[in-house]
Amino acid sequence: MKKIRTVLAITVASLMVAGCATTFKPWKLSDVQEGMERDQVVKILGNPDYTETKNGAEYLYYSFTEDLIPPSSISYDDPEALERRIKELNRTLDEHKYEVVLIDGKMVNYKELKN
């Protein structure tokens, strides 16, 4: 039984860390301002997931997935219930996508993209 608890604890910890894999934090968008250079924006927000150039503008795309933090009400003594609850929580995590627009290397705006 102790071995199962250890494996489950490691699994839960791994899932929690996996949610933090991205360096992008949406609340940092309030720190970027119109007219900032691309390097300044990337320094604040981190490297984008991908970029795209169209119509003379550069688009930086970021994504953020909510972290998995199991509620304290989960019983770690019932491995099956814990596993079911983690699967339920993973299905409810939202992914948010953001677009930052640069023209002539300067930030002009950003927005959250609708899923």
3-state SS, 22-63, equals: CCCCHHHHHHCCCCCEHHHHHHHHCCCCEEEEECCEEEEEEE
Residue ranges and CATH numbers for the domains of the chain are 2-66+73-113 (3.30.1450.10)
Can you tell me the mean pLDDT for 40-47? 96
Using a cut of 0.75, tell me whether the model's pTM lies above it. no
Q: In the predicted model, what is the mean pLDDT of the chain?
A: 79
Query: Do residues 32 and 45 touch, judged by C-beta distance below 8 A?
Result: yes
Please report which confidence band the pLDDT of residue 66 belongs to, taking 50, 70 and 90 as the band edges.
confident
Structure tokens at 113: 């993209």
What is the side-by-side order of every strand in the sheet holding 95-103? 50-54, 57-65, 95-103, 106-113
The predicted pLDDT at position 55 comes to 94
